[in-house]
Amino acid sequence: MTDVIHLLPDHVANQIAAGEVVQRPASVIKELLENSIDAGGTNIKILVKEAGKTLIQVTDNGNGMSVTDARLCFERHATSKINTAEDLFSLKTKGFRGEALASIAAIAHVELKSRQEDDEVGTCIKIEGSEVVSQEVCVTPVGTTICVKNLFYNIPARRNFLKSDTVELRHVIDEFQRVALAHPSIQFSLFHNGSELFQLPEANYRQRIVNIFGGKTNEKLVPVEEDTAIVKIHGYVGKPEFAKKGRGEQFFFVNERFIKSPYLNHAVTAAFEGLLKDRAYPSYFLYLDVDPKSIDINIHPTKTEIKFDDEHALYTILRSSIKHSLGQFNVAPVLDFDRDSSLDTPYEFSQKGITPPKVEVDPNFNPFRTERSGGGYNSSNFRREKAAGSWQSLYNGLQGEGNETSSGITQVEFESDEVTGNLFGLGDAGETGSTTFQLNKKYIVTTLKSGILVIDQQRAHTRILYEELLKNITVTSAVSQQLLFPLKIQFSTNEMELLKEIKDSLEQTGFIFSEVKKDSVEISGIPTLISESEVEILLEQLLLDLENEVPGSGFSQVDTLSKSLARGMAVKSGTVLNSAEQQNIVNSLFACKESTLSPFNKPVFITLTVDELDKKFM
C-alpha cells in the first residue's frame, strides 16, 4: 500500500487561495485599501499603471508594522485583527481572515515598506511568488507602502483572462469609489498612468459624494435619516427625476463596508414606487449601522454579500424611511429660503427660451348654457389639434410601444416636438413622389405599384441616422453647427474615461470639444442633426450604452455609438410629420444599404400586396 495524501506546499495553497481572493487588479486595490484603513490611515494614495496589471501601489500613513509583523503578514492566516472565533461577532475591522497579503504575494511581485512611529527606521521586504527575495532596513515615513507588480505573472491563464485596460480600470475605479464613499473622513487620491483621476479631501458624506460624482450631484440628493433599535440609517437618495437608465450609482454600506443586496435594493425601489419612469433606476448612497452581532460577513472572501438576522424588519424600515424622506424633501413642495432657486429648475427647462403664455379663448363658450349636448360647448373641440398632438407625445414611450430595445439598451425619450424641429431641414425632397400619409402618428403609409407599404417612422429614421452616423465616423466627417455659447457638461470619472476613448469618433459626427477636463467637457459644436437641449441626455445615454456593451474592439464601439445616437435622435412614434418629412423618411430609407431592418434588428416596414388585399375581400 502506498500513501497518496500529502499536504500541499504553502506556495501552492496560497495560489489556490489567491484564486478566491484576487480575481483582478481591482480585488488587490480593495484588499490593500482595507488594510490601510484598518491600520488607521487618514491619507491614502494609490498609484496604478495599466489598470493595475503592471503596478498597484498603495501608501498610507497608518500604524505601520514592526520588523516581525512585516515578515509575518505574508503568512496565511496571519492577522492582527481577531484572536478567537468569538471575535468575529464584534468585528470592527474590514479584514480578519489574514489571507489577502499571503494570496497577493503568491501571484505577484510584492514590495513592502513599513515603519511604526516609535521606530527610527523601517523594514523593506521583497517577495515573489511567496518567496522572500530580500529583507532589509530602510528609511521610510511612518505608515506602509505596498507595491504589487506584474499581477498573475506566474499564472498566465489568469493573466490572459483579464479584460482590456478600460474594463479593468473601471473595476478599479468602482472599488476605489466604494471604499472612498464609506470613509469620507479619510483623504484619498488615485493616479492612473501618471494622471490624477481622483483627489478627495477630508469631507462629510455629502461632500464626498459630490467630490466623486461631480458638482451637479449636489442638487439631486435627498437626505435620509432613521434611528431605530435594529438599525441606524443615514445617507442620500437621488431625486426621482434624476433617476438613471442604468444602475450606476447605487451604494449600500453596512458598518462602513460596501455590500450588495438585491433584497434591500428592492426595498429602495419599492419606496420610489410610482415616482420613477419605466426602466429608470434611482441612485442611492445609504449607510446602515447595525450591531455587528446581527450580521454574518463570513460568507464569501470578497465580502460583498452579507447575512442579516432580521432582514425583513430592515426592509420595512428602509422602505418607510426613504418614503418619508421623498415625501418631505421632494414630492411635497418645500419652502427653503437658503436655496438658490435656479438649482431647482430641471436642466432641460433652464435651457429653453421663455415663451409667453398664450391666452386661448373659446368663442363658443357660453357660461349660461348648461346642457352639453346640442353641439354648442364641447371641451374636446376646443383643444387645438397641435396641442393635443404634443401633449400625447409626452406619454409616448411610457407604454413601451415601438421601443427599439435589444440587448438591454434602453430608449431615450425626448419631447418629440422639440427634437424633430430641425431634423428635416434637408430640403423639400417630397411632394413629387407617390403620396404618403401618417397613421396614428406612428406609421407612414405609402403606395407601391401593386400594394401598400406601412413604415414604422421611428425605426425607419433610426436606420437612416444610424447609417449616416456610421458613414460620418468611418468615411467622411460631418459638418457641425457652432454653438453661440459653449455647452459645459459634467461627467463622472468613469464616464470621462469612456468619453475620452470615443472622443475622436464623436468629433467625426460633428461634435467639437473645446475643452476636456477631469470631470467635465466643454462643447462648442454639435452635429447639425441634434439640437442643443438634447446633447447632454444623448451623451449620457451613449456612455451608458457603451458601458453595457463589452468594449474592446474598435468596430463594436463605433457601432454602439452610432446605434445609441441614432436611437436618441430619431423621430419618435407619436410625432406628427408633415408630408415633406414623411417623403423624406421614405426616400432616405430606401437609399439605405439595409432598409428592411432597424439597427436593432426589428422590421422597419411591412407590405400589403394587391393579391393579399384581394384575398381579404373574398
Q: Provide the binding-site residues for ligand ADP, judged by CB under 6 A.
A: 31, 35-36, 39, 60, 62-65, 73, 78-81, 95-102, 144
97 vs 171, beta carbon nearer ligand ADP:
97
Residues 14-33 that bind Mg ion (CB under 5 A): none
CA distances from 412 to 511, 545, 562, 587 (A): 19, 11, 14, 25
296 vs 415, beta carbon nearer ligand ADP:
296
Q: Is 41 in the site for Mg ion (CB under 5 A)?
A: no
Which of ligand ADP, Mg ion, none does 600 bind, CB closer than 5 to 8 A by kind?
none
Smallest gap from Cβ 64 to ligand ADP, in A, equals 6
Which of Mg ion, ligand ADP, none does 297 bind, CB closer than 5 to 8 A by kind?
none
23 vs 481, beta carbon nearer Mg ion:
23
Taking a C-beta distance cutoff of 8 angstroms, is the pair 574, 526 a contact? no
Q: Is 100 in the site for Mg ion (CB under 5 A)?
A: yes
Largest CA distance in the chain: 112
Smallest gap from Cβ 58 to ligand ADP, in A, equals 7
Which of ligand ADP, Mg ion, none does 36 bind, CB closer than 5 to 8 A by kind?
ligand ADP
Smallest gap from Cβ 12 to ligand ADP, in A, equals 18
- The set of cell numbers assigned to 86 is 468569538
- The set of cell numbers assigned to 123 is 523594514
Total residues binding Mg ion (CB under 5 A): 3
CA distances from 570 to 46, 59, 547 (A): 43, 50, 21
Which segment (91-99, 275-283, 306-314, 479-487) binds Mg ion by CB under 5 A? 91-99
For 219-251, letters b (16+ CB in 10 Å) and e give bbbbebebeeeebebbbbbbbbebbbbbebbbb
C-alpha of 423 from chain center: 29
Which of ligand ADP, Mg ion, none does 494 bind, CB closer than 5 to 8 A by kind?
none
CA distances from 313 to 160, 161, 231 (A): 45, 41, 9
144 vs 436, beta carbon nearer ligand ADP:
144
Tell me if residue 57 falls in helix, strand or coil. strand
Which of these, 503, 500, 509, 502, lies nearest to 473 by C-alpha position? 509
80 vs 548, beta carbon nearer ligand ADP:
80
Taking a C-beta distance cutoff of 8 angstroms, is the pair 594, 463 a contact? yes
36 vs 396, beta carbon nearer ligand ADP:
36
Which of ligand ADP, Mg ion, none does 414 bind, CB closer than 5 to 8 A by kind?
none
Smallest gap from Cβ 462 to ligand ADP, in A, equals 51
8-state DSSP, 419: H
Smallest gap from Cβ 115 to ligand ADP, in A, equals 10
63 vs 393, beta carbon nearer ligand ADP:
63
- DSSP-H helix ranges across 140-252: 156-161, 165-182, 205-213
Contacts of residue 298, defined as CB under 8 A and 6 or more positions apart, other chains included, come to: 88
Which of Mg ion, ligand ADP, none does 198 bind, CB closer than 5 to 8 A by kind?
none
Smallest gap from Cβ 520 to ligand ADP, in A, equals 34
Contacts of residue 7, defined as CB under 8 A and 6 or more positions apart, other chains included, come to: none
Which of these, 111, 103, 192, lies nearest to 154 by C-alpha position? 103
Q: Indicate the residue whose CB is closest to ligand ADP.
A: 95
Taking a C-beta distance cutoff of 8 angstroms, is the pair 435, 567 a contact? no
Smallest gap from Cβ 542 to ligand ADP, in A, equals 40
For 55-85, letters b (16+ CB in 10 Å) and e give bbbbbbbbbbbbbeebbebbebeebbbbeee
C-alpha of 91 from chain center: 32
What distance in Å separates the CA atoms of residue 331 and residue 611, rounded to the nearest whole number?
Answer: 57
> Can you tell me which residue has the cell 452581532?
293
Taking a C-beta distance cutoff of 8 angstroms, is the pair 60, 76 a contact? no
Q: Indicate the residue whose CB is closest to Mg ion.
A: 95
Smallest gap from Cβ 301 to ligand ADP, in A, equals 10
Which of Mg ion, ligand ADP, none does 405 bind, CB closer than 5 to 8 A by kind?
none
Which of Mg ion, ligand ADP, none does 21 bind, CB closer than 5 to 8 A by kind?
none
Smallest gap from Cβ 341 to ligand ADP, in A, equals 47
39 vs 209, beta carbon nearer ligand ADP:
39
Smallest gap from Cβ 31 to Mg ion, in A, equals 5
Smallest gap from Cβ 126 to ligand ADP, in A, equals 16
Residues 461-500 that bind Mg ion (CB under 5 A): none
Tell me if residue 482 falls in helix, strand or coil. strand
Q: Is 35 in the site for Mg ion (CB under 5 A)?
A: yes
By the criterion CB under 5 A, which residues form the site for Mg ion? Answer: 35, 95, 100
